[in-house]
């Protein structure tokens, strides 16, 4: 074909129509704004992120400072959440632990989702034997309760925060793989994928450029919900002494410290426990809201 190579200099800057991807985002955001619990969850998460970012610079006490004369003091104006058995300020420790908690939740989900999405999309796209092998592997992982699996992995790898992230990530892989496989199965049947094959696109190009952008919404919902689960699992592992090692101000570990003083100083366990509950609840509320908002069947 003799393509005329005349230069087209017509950069007419007409109003760019909205990208459907962003258009959908607008609809999702609008639906989300009307969902009260999702908004509360969202703002709570924002609040925790803010605390994690600037909190450590404005806490009244350093998290590791032990003032033994002040040990096991009940909440007061001086120590809002009281002090623990080493005389450390619990309020400061919780603030310092916020970032840690969020990072563990975020990175374990990021890791788990990346691997899970890859497995799921490959299983769904290629089908057949590859699908069977991957999904049976996922079934095996899924057969163990998440925390038990994580526990086993951490026991093998040794107790540390990084290993907790890896363990929690591995236990969340099958959930993502399943969801992504299902979505991939429905998208790959669409005619525009056939059209891309007929155009000579490679499998990798079809998978990452044409299928992946169309299956992001279930991934986002699952990731949000999974952050809550991941935080809970990580705290659980630390509670059992397999995660963060003392004196790291990790909430699960703090909870564990407090259980020895439940009768005479319940605040030592109460406040870290409440913090865990609040974060987990916030992510769950936002996740539920996102699921409804992404569902085209729910009305605006």
Partner 1 sequence: MTSAPNTYENILEIKDLQTSFFTKDLEVKAVDGVSFTIPKGKILGVVGESGSGKSITSLSILRLIEDPGKIVGGEIRFKGENLLDKTEAQMRKIRGNEISMIFQEPMTSLNPTFTVGQQISESYKIHQGLNKKQAKERSIEMLKLVGIPSPEKRVDQYPHELSGGMRQRVMIAMALACDPDLLIADEPTTALDVTIQAQILDLMKDLQERLGMGILLITHDLGVVAETCDYVAVMYAGKVVEFTDAKTLFKSPKHPYTVGLMKSIPPHDHDIEGDLSVIRGSVPSPAEMPKGCRFAPRCPFATDLCRENLPDLITDEEGNQIRCWIYSDEWNGDPEVDVHAETERTT
Q: Rounded to an integer, what distance in angstroms lies between the CA atom of residue 209 and that of residue 290?
A: 24
Q: Which is nearer to partner 1, 206 or 225 (CB)?
A: 206
Q: Rounded to an integer, what distance in angstroms lies between the CA atom of residue 287 and that of residue 284?
A: 5
- Compute how many other C-beta atoms are within 10 angstroms of the C-beta atom of residue 26: 10
Site map 55..94 versus partner 1, x via CB under 8 A:
----------------------------------------
Q: Rounded to an integer, what distance in angstroms lies between the CA atom of residue 279 and that of residue 285?
A: 10
Q: Does 213 bind partner 1 (CB under 8 A)?
A: yes
CB of 134 to partner 1, least distance (A): 16
Q: Which is nearer to partner 1, 211 or 254 (CB)?
A: 211
Judged by CB under 8 A, the chain residues 16 through 55 that form the site for partner 1 are 16-17, 19-21
Q: Which is nearer to partner 1, 26 or 202 (CB)?
A: 202
Q: Which is nearer to partner 1, 12 or 136 (CB)?
A: 12
Judged by CB under 8 A, the chain residues 110 through 149 that form the site for partner 1 are 127-128
Q: Which is nearer to partner 1, 37 or 214 (CB)?
A: 214
CB of 190 to partner 1, least distance (A): 6
Q: Does 4 bind partner 1 (CB under 8 A)?
A: yes
Give the C-alpha distances (Å, rounded to integers) separating 23 from 17, 28, 219, 289, 293.
Answer: 10, 9, 18, 18, 13
Stretch that binds partner 1, among 77-85, 92-100, 132-140, 198-206 (CB under 8 A): 198-206
CB of 153 to partner 1, least distance (A): 36
Site map 176..195 versus partner 1, x via CB under 8 A:
--------------xxx-xx
CB of 250 to partner 1, least distance (A): 41
Q: Which is nearer to partner 1, 15 or 69 (CB)?
A: 15
Burial (CB < 10 A; 0-12, 13-18, 19+), residue 184, is: buried
Q: Which is nearer to partner 1, 150 or 193 (CB)?
A: 193
Q: Which residues bind partner 1 (CB under 8 A)?
A: 1, 3-4, 7-8, 10, 12, 14, 16-17, 19-21, 127-128, 190-192, 194-202, 205, 210, 213-214
């Amino acid at each position: 074909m003799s393509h005329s190579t005349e230069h087209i200099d017509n950069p007419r800057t007409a109003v760019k129509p909205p990208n459907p991807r962003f258009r959908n985002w607008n609809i999702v955001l609008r639906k989300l704004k009307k969902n009260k619990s999702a908004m509360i969850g969202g703002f709570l998460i924002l609040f925790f992120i803010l605390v994690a970012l600037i909190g450590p610079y404005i806490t009244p006490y350093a998290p590791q400072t032990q003032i033994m004369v002040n040990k096991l003091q009940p909440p007061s104006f001086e120590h809002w959440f009281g002090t623990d058995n080493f005389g450390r300020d619990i309020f400061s420790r919780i603030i310092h632990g916020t970032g840690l908690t969020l990072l563990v939740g975020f990175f374990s989900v990021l890791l788990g989702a990346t691997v899970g999405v890859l497995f799921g999309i490959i299983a769904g796209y290629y089908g057949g034997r590859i699908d069977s092998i991957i999904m049976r592997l996922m079934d095996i992982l899924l057969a163990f309760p998440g925390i038990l699996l994580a526990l086993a992995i951490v026991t093998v790898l040794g107790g540390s925060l990084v290993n907790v992230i890896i363990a929690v990530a591995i236990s969340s892989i099958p959930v993502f793989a399943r969801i992504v496989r299902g979505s991939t199965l429905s998208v790959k049947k669409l005619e525009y994928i056939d059209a891309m094959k007929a155009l000579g696109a490679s499998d990798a190009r079809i998978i990452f450029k044409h299928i992946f952008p169309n299956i992001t919404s279930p991934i986002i919902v699952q990731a949000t919900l999974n952050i809550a689960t991941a935080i809970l699992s990580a705290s659980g592992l630390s509670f059992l002494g397999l995660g963060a090692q003392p004196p790291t101000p990790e909430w699960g570990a703090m909870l564990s410290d407090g259980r020895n003083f439940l009768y005479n100083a319940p605040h030592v366990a109460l406040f870290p426990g409440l913090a865990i509950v609040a974060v987990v609840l916030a992510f769950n509320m936002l996740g539920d809201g996102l699921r409804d908002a992404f569902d085209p069947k729910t009305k605006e």
